[in-house]
Amino acid sequence: MELIVEQIIHKKYVGRKFLLDLAKHERLQENTQIIYFYSAIMEEINYPIKPGKTLYIGEACRKKSPTGERFKHIGPNLTTANDYTSNYTLTTFYELCKPINLQIYEVPKNNSRKELEEAFIRLHMKMFGAVPIAQGATGQNTTPKTINSLLQSYNGLEEYL
């Protein structure tokens, strides 16, 4: 794999516009297979086995549009983003001005990016005892709008967590 993008994302400096502009990146056009990682910078996540920094592991390859269009993980705010690409946990890090490192690697054509993503997630589970904290969930999507509506539906359950 070859590193083609590495950038710190921070609300006050390099924000969502950078992610949206990846659709124009010369190395992230149609049929480019990628694996990418979002990682915390200033803190470690207290995973069961040992602390780590990985927040999310993903893969992408768009056949009819630029692969760089995939980078819409950070919603415009914590209440309205509701498309399948917005991620509540990554959006929360961003909105709280916690810097996030994004690394994008090109995957050679003879490799399966989906199998590679699965291998990285399983390796994370083995090394740290859990999937990355922003990886997703079973059931409904974890978009900001979905999470906020769930929170309203489950009012009063917070005392059990």
What pLDDT does residue 84 have?
Answer: 64
Residue 106 CA: distances (Å) to CA of 37, 40, 61, 70, 129:
12, 21, 10, 14, 27
Asked whether residue 82 carries a pLDDT value surpassing 60, the answer given is: no
> What's the first-to-final CA gap in the chain, in angstroms?
40
Q: What residue ranges do the domains of the chain occupy?
A: 2-154
pTM above 0.85, yes or no: no
Alpha-carbon gap, residue 100 to 58, rounded angstroms: 15
pLDDT score at 11: 86
3-state secondary structure of 55: strand
Average pLDDT, the chain: 82
Q: Dump pLDDT digits (tens) for 33-74.
A: 899 999 999 999 999 999 999 999 998 888 887 777 777 778
